[in-house]
Amino acid sequence: MKIVITGSIAYDYLMFFPGRFREHLLADQLHTISVSFLVDSMRRQRGGIAANIAYTMALLGGRPTIMATAGQDFGEYRTWLEKQGIDTSGVVVIEDEYCASFFVNTDEEQNQIASFYTGAMAHANELTFARYAPDANLVIISPNDPAAMGAYTLECKQLAIPYVYDPSQQVIRLTAADLLAGLTGCALLTVNEYELSMIQEKTGLKEADILTRAGGLLVTRGKFGSTILVEDRIYDIPAVSPREIVEPTGAGDAFRGGLLRGIQLGLPWDVAGRMGALAATYCLENFGPQGHHFTPAEFITRYREHFDDAGALDILSH
Ligand SMILES: Nc1ncnc2c1ncn2[C@@H]1O[C@H](COP(=O)(O)OP(=O)(O)OP(=O)(O)O)[C@@H](O)[C@H]1O
Ligand SMILES: [Mg+2]
């Protein structure tokens, strides 16, 4: 089963300011603000939702395909993704742009000042499955340029490719009409609790209405686990307690990577969901959305410390 992952590809630039922003923001001078913070550490980290999801899927042997746009600074990122077992043939480089870039400066009180530059992502709506992934069996439509998310939804319907609709962070930007078009006819809608409330508020749909339009619904609830509602059944997926939480970015993406690998292998929903939960926990225990690592064998062993898969996961080690 060929799974095609769409969404952003980005670099995150994480800076740390050894001071307090509020001491340098003069309330009576905000109309003429001009401040520069001398930061004493910066790291550039691979990120972007499509790459994050693909990364976890690849750890589990899934060989996903990414369809996305990236910038002239993508070269080493592509090499690295390919090395992880990700097919990047559907990643198109926009030569006069940079990859989407997230710049965030954190001060010693954990306050943040951030900017997100869309860069090459603004061209994502120029890509089509017909051209870059004609043999897709399942697509996930994750946060991306809003126009691209709409176009991909439409094309999946036209080509009858089943898709997971994963609006996540972009719920804020998408209109009620966008959200309705995306979730109506999707195979699965994936959201966290907060995003589900926002969708309900924007569209006026109740959960039951959503379920008549979408093939299924995954709602994640942080440390309280998640629920998958599909085929008139409810699967409660417990969270796996992390040994320590190093940094929470990307847990939701790792969950989707694990879940998609389970779906790809044809595993039952309760097993696929638990694969998502365990993958998310690995992510929490490391820095960044692609900082975790495990072999399929290690994953199976840890899964079985918590859950009984009745041997279903043996397929992962083949
Ligand atoms: N503190 C935690 N302890 C254990 N598991 C967690 C914790 N936080 C998240 N998870 C796991 O990750 C899954 C997704 O988390 P969450 O609901 O916070 O997603 P999210 O808000 O979309 O995250 P993200 O910030 O990555 O977008 C949860 O269902 C759970 O399995
Ligand atoms: Mg999320």
What is the reported pLDDT for 26?
87
Examine residue 36 and state whether it is found in any structural domain, yes or no: no
Nearest CA to ligand 1 atom 14: 252
Active site residue 73: no
288: left (phi over 0), alpha (psi -120 to 50) or beta: left
What pTM was computed for the model?
Answer: 0.96
Interatomic CA distance for residues 165 and 129, integer angstroms: 16
Examine residue 25 and state whether it is found in any structural domain, yes or no: no
Examine residue 313 and state whether it is found in any structural domain, yes or no: no
What is the reported pLDDT for 30?
87
Domain count, the chain: 1
State the CATH number of the domain containing residue 45. Answer: 3.40.1190.20
What is the reported pLDDT for 27?
86
73: left (phi over 0), alpha (psi -120 to 50) or beta: alpha
**Domain range enclosing 289:** 3-20+41-302
What is the reported pLDDT for 305?
98
Tens of pLDDT, residue by residue, the chain (318 residues): 999 999 999 999 999 999 999 999 988 888 998 999 999 999 999 999 999 999 999 999 999 999 999 999 999 999 999 999 999 999 999 999 999 999 999 999 989 999 999 999 999 999 999 999 999 999 999 999 999 999 999 999 999 999 999 999 999 999 999 999 999 999 999 999 999 999 999 999 999 999 999 999 999 999 999 999 999 999 999 999 999 999 889 999 999 999 999 999 999 999 999 999 999 999 999 999 999 999 999 999 999 999 999 999 999 987
Cα dihedral: 273, 276, 277, 281 (round 10): 170
What is the reported pLDDT for 2?
98
CA-wise closest residue to 3 among 96, 115, 87: 87
Selected catalytic residue, list 12, 107, 253, 309: 253
Q: Which residues line ligand 1 (CB under 6 A)?
A: 168, 192, 220-223, 225-226, 239, 241-242, 245, 250-253, 255, 277, 280-281, 284
Coil vs helix vs strand at 189: strand
CA-wise closest residue to 170 among 183, 161, 186: 183
Cα dihedral: 29, 30, 31, 32 (round 10): 70
Examine residue 311 and state whether it is found in any structural domain, yes or no: no
Do residues 50 and 86 touch, judged by C-beta distance below 8 A?
A: no
CA of 260 to the centre of ligand 1 (A): 16
What is the reported pLDDT for 220?
98
